[in-house]
Amino acid sequence: MYLAIELWKASGLTQVKFCAHEKLSVKTFGYWLRKYKKGKGQPAVLEKEGHQKFIPVKVPQLNNNTISGDSRIDISFPNGVQVNCPAGIDITQLKTLINF
């Protein structure tokens, strides 16, 4: 099943679409994906009805004076897409980038 997970990651498809194409149970695929990620030390990403949801991460409040001009936020999605932006980005702009 780990091979199927690697193929899914390379496909760029959602889990639901990949499972339909490969005739796999979404629930079974999700079980093996959690095992795979746990074995790799990666946090699980929750998925329900084909929509991925992030696990909340708490970040300590920073005073704008402590953010240097070269500080960056890097976000990597499971399908390989990466978002890199300045740490001082407006939260509305960041949400737009993530939801694009």
Parse the chain into domains and list their residue ranges: 2-53, 64-99
Give the pairing of strands 51-53 and 46-48.
Answer: antiparallel
Contacts of 95 (CB under 8 A, 6+ apart): none
Residues whose CB is less than 8 angstroms from the CB of residue 69 and which lie 6 or more positions away in sequence, other chains included: none
- Residues 45-88 have pLDDT tens digits of 555 555 555 556 555 555 555 555 677 887 777 777 777 888 77
Residues 2-29: what's their mean pLDDT?
89
Residues contacting residue 98 through CB under 8 Å, at least 6 positions apart: 75, 83
Q: Is the pLDDT of residue 38 over 90?
A: no
Whether the full predicted model's pTM is greater than 0.85, yes or no, is no
Cα–Cα distance measured from residue 40 to residue 68, given in angstroms and rounded to the nearest whole number: 32
CA distance 29 to 2: 10
